[in-house]
Amino acid sequence: MRPRGARRGRPRGRQRTGPRGARSAAGARNAAGARSVTGARNATGLRCAAGFLCALGLGLALAGCGGGEGGLESAGPTPTAVGPVRLWPDLPPATNPPIDYGESDIQRVPGMEVPDNDVHSVDPVAVVRAEVRARPDARTGADGLYEQTARAIEACGAAPAACPVLRPYYRDLTGNGRDELIVGIRMPDQQVGVRVYVAENGGLTRIMSTVDQVISVELAGRDLIMRVGSAGIPGYEYRTAWSWDEQQGSMLPTRDEIVRVKPSDAGPSMVPAPHLVGPTPTPTGRPVPLPPEATP
């Protein structure tokens, strides 16, 4: 048996001598040296190529950021930011704030039952008539109506052509997932009363009431926007956006602005008449032609 680890063949450490052995050793050394030099050269070449490509890419990136098509351009000097400045900081705040907007607009409509809280099931003329009968002498405030308008509302059943209650519209303005009832009431002097009602607990609650000389009334999302002519500033109009306020429980005028509609030197204001759907009562009781009806 061979000792563990012993090699078969020539004794360990014995080497062949003579020219053949010398050539073999020299050839081995030369081959090893050639391989080392070639590997070093190849490694150096690869490193140089990688460096060249990196430099080329960096040069192209810098060239793209320079002046030329698609390059960065200065937007000019940036104005200095000016923060808000409080005037009269020592002035004490009011201790008795005025009545909240919309507070007097919340009113339960007496005697109105709304099955399944569906406002589509109620008659808008009956809703307004119930309010008139509950406060027949109201001429100002949220319930205020002209006397002739109140009489015309009472006579809507007998004289529907002269009824000042306009076609109702429906829209979810409160975000409760159900439609609210939007009612318009035509009044003298191109004035229109706009009222909004929400169905809750089997009844009807008025959450908005306003009267103005209206140019148009629009719905945008959950906002009701009213455009009103400006009598004192020719060429301008007021635009008020009414929005639901959860804390107040009513529609509030959350955005109010005055907008220029034509040059101020163009002469007297030519505010168009209200474009609303419905009949117009006249002092003689004769109906006038109706404008083209809009789609609710």
Summarize pLDDT for 41-50 with one digit per residue, the tens.
554 555 555 5
User: Does residue 48 lie within any of the structural domains?
Assistant: no
Q: Choose the weakest-confidence range: 84-93, 114-123, 134-143.
A: 134-143
User: Does residue 35 lie within any of the structural domains?
Assistant: no
Mean pLDDT highest for which of 20-34, 89-103, 129-143? 129-143
Q: Cβ–Cβ contacts within 10 Å for residue 66, how many?
A: 8
pLDDT band, residue 112 (cuts 50/70/90): very high
Identify the pLDDT of residue 149: 94
User: Does residue 226 lie within any of the structural domains?
Assistant: yes
Identify the pLDDT of residue 47: 56
Q: Choose the weakest-confidence range: 21-30, 59-68, 131-140.
A: 21-30
For residues 162 and 149, give the distance between their C-alpha atoms in angstroms, rounded to a whole number: 10
Q: Choose the weakest-confidence range: 8-12, 54-58, 271-275.
A: 8-12
> Is it the case that residue 102 has pLDDT exceeding 90?
no
pLDDT higher at 74 or 4: 74
> Is it the case that residue 87 has pLDDT exceeding 60?
yes
Identify the pLDDT of residue 216: 95
User: Does residue 288 lie within any of the structural domains?
Assistant: no
> Is it the case that residue 258 has pLDDT exceeding 60?
yes
> Is it the case that residue 132 has pLDDT exceeding 90?
yes
Identify the pLDDT of residue 278: 38
How many domains does the chain divide into? 1
Identify the pLDDT of residue 69: 62
> Is it the case that residue 208 has pLDDT exceeding 80?
yes
pTM: 0.61
> Is it the case that residue 194 has pLDDT exceeding 90?
yes
End-to-end, the C-alpha distance of the chain in Å comes to: 110
Average pLDDT for the chain: 75
Long-range contact pairs involving 14-23 (C-beta distance under 8 Å, separation at least 24): none
User: Does residue 108 lie within any of the structural domains?
Assistant: yes
User: Does residue 62 lie within any of the structural domains?
Assistant: no
User: Does residue 79 lie within any of the structural domains?
Assistant: no
Identify the pLDDT of residue 237: 94
pLDDT higher at 140 or 39: 140
> Is it the case that residue 147 has pLDDT exceeding 60?
yes
pLDDT band, residue 160 (cuts 50/70/90): very high
What is the 3-class SS of the chain, one letter each residue?
CCCCCCCCCCCCCCCCCCHHHHHHHHHHHHHHHHHHHHHHHHHHHHHHHHHHHHHHHHHHHHHHHCCCCCCCCCCCCCCCCCCCCCCCCCCCCCCCCCCCCCHHHCEECCCCCCHHHCHHHCCHHHHHHHHHHHCCCCCCCCCCCCHHHHHHHHCCCCCHHHCCECCCEEECCCCCCCCEEEEEEEECCCEEEEEEEEEECCEEEEEEEEEEEEEEEEEECCEEEEEEECCCCCCEEEEEEEEEECCCCEEEEEEEEEEECCCCCCCCCCCCCCCCCCCCCCCCCCCCCCCCCCCC
Share of residues in the chain with pLDDT > 90 (%): 48
Identify the pLDDT of residue 80: 85
User: Does residue 234 lie within any of the structural domains?
Assistant: yes
For residues 148 and 191, give the distance between their C-alpha atoms in angstroms, rounded to a whole number: 13
Domain extent for 191: 103-260
